[in-house]
Chain A
Amino acid sequence: MNDEVFALWVYLARTPLLWLTVTILVYCLCDRFSAALHRNPLANPVLLSMCLVGLLVRGTGTPYGTYFDGAQFVHFLLGPATVALGIPLYQNRQLVLRSILPMACALVAGSVTALVSAVMIARMLGASPTIVTSIAPKSVTAAVAMGVSGRLGGDPALTAVLVILTGILGAVVVTPLMNGLGITDKWARGFAAGLAAHGIGTARAFQVDPLAGTFAGIAMGLNALLTALLVPLLV
């Protein structure tokens, strides 16, 4: 690289503008790609964007902290987005109230399954206590999971990564899995996606059906509450 180009890179690489722009444009590209493939679950926009941006960050030798200085503006919107889930919830309140019993039962069963199975499998395969604690809240939305993991001696940064991986995994498998199990109830499918795969599952559910997305959003919020209460009992 010649000196002028290098000087320009050094300047740009330090401003938040560069990585914010990269994050948004790479996502737009991946989202287009996913739409072109008719929202095939394997062409998950989060997975594709994460890999591409990760390669760019790694390839340019950029520290994650520098990347996050730019990307934090996007990350910040996770909070307001959680609040905004209240809007479809309110609009569909009558439907939701009618399903209160199935939701309560599914919440308890699903939340306990997610937690106990992850902790048991990780322990059985010899993962360290730090990893076990970090993996326990994996089905819960990132901000909450990181808080839970940090309080109990886990590694919040690792938890964030495991949460995202779980979300992607859930979003990719939910449609074929539900078809395979013969579960056609859209609300049940949405609720499961939000419970097991938090916001990424919710985003997937919204892609398929707005009402499924609403149920996913409710499941995500409720599971965040319940897991925050249950994890300390288990690890």
Chain B
Amino acid sequence: MLLSLGLILLCQLVGEAIAHGTGVPVPGPVIGLVLCVLLLAARDRIGRLAPAELRDGTFEQTGRGILSHLSLLFIPAGVGVVQRLDVLAGNALAITLALLVSTVLSLAVTAWVFSAVARQTG
């Protein structure tokens, strides 16, 4: 459990280091995601040489644990709305329409293109 958590944090840390070190406009945690995939691929390559905790499903379980309450993690930033109520109220129409129309459009376009191309390519 602890090793798994440590490795997830390490992926993020190395990701942040790469992002800041090279100045690529890719966020550190997203690089960390790629590193996490590479870590799992490496684990399956070396087989029995990998630490037991990585082979018995604990790592997957730890990740699932963090992901199972993904919604919770957005609340602190969301409560920040109390700081910006004046801006939101002052531009209510522009902001509401921009968010609503753009979100509906992008959901529809994305899902439509995905399923159309998936049908074409079988």
Contacts and interface: CB of A to CB of B under 8 A. Distances in A.
Interface residues of B, number: 73
B66 A77 contact: yes
B79 A53 contact: yes
A224 B62 CA distance: 24
B65 to A, nearest CB: 9
B21 interface: no
Contacts of B78: 46, 49-50, 54, 161, 164, 168
B51 interface: no
Interface residues of A, number: 107
Contacts of B29: 78-80, 82-83, 143
A211 interface: no
Interface in A75-120: 75, 77-91, 93, 99, 101-103, 105-107, 109-111, 113-114, 117-118
B108 A106 contact: no
Given A86-B36, A157-B84, A169-B103, A126 B71 contact: no
Contacts of A93: 37
A24 B70 contact: no
A78 B69 CA distance: 10
Contact of A188 (B39, B83, B97, B115): B115
Of A170, A196, A225, chain B has the most CB atoms within 10 Å of the CB of: A196
Interface string B56-73: 000110111011111111
Nearest to A62: B82
B107 A192 contact: yes
A121 B27 contact: no
A125 interface: yes
A181 B81 contact: no
A58 B81 CA distance: 10
B81 A229 contact: no
B109 A49 contact: no
B82 to A, nearest CB: 5
Contacts of A228: 25-27
Given A77-B66, A188-B118, A106 B113 contact: yes
A139 B81 CA distance: 17
A107 B106 CA distance: 10
B49 interface: no
B114 A103 contact: yes
Contacts of B100: 169
B104 A161 contact: no
Contacts of B108: 177, 181, 192
Contact of B117 (A101, A139, A162, A181): A101
Interface of B: 5, 8-9, 11-12, 15, 25-30, 32-37, 39-41, 59-60, 62-64, 66-84, 87-88, 91, 93-95, 97-115, 117-118, 121
Interface of A: 23-24, 26-27, 31, 45-46, 49-50, 53-54, 57-58, 64, 67-68, 71-72, 74-75, 77-91, 93, 99, 101-103, 105-107, 109-111, 113-114, 117-118, 121-122, 125-128, 131, 135, 138-139, 141-144, 147-148, 155, 157-158, 160-170, 173-174, 177-178, 181, 183, 185, 187-189, 191-193, 195-197, 199-200, 202-203, 206, 219, 221, 224-225, 228-229
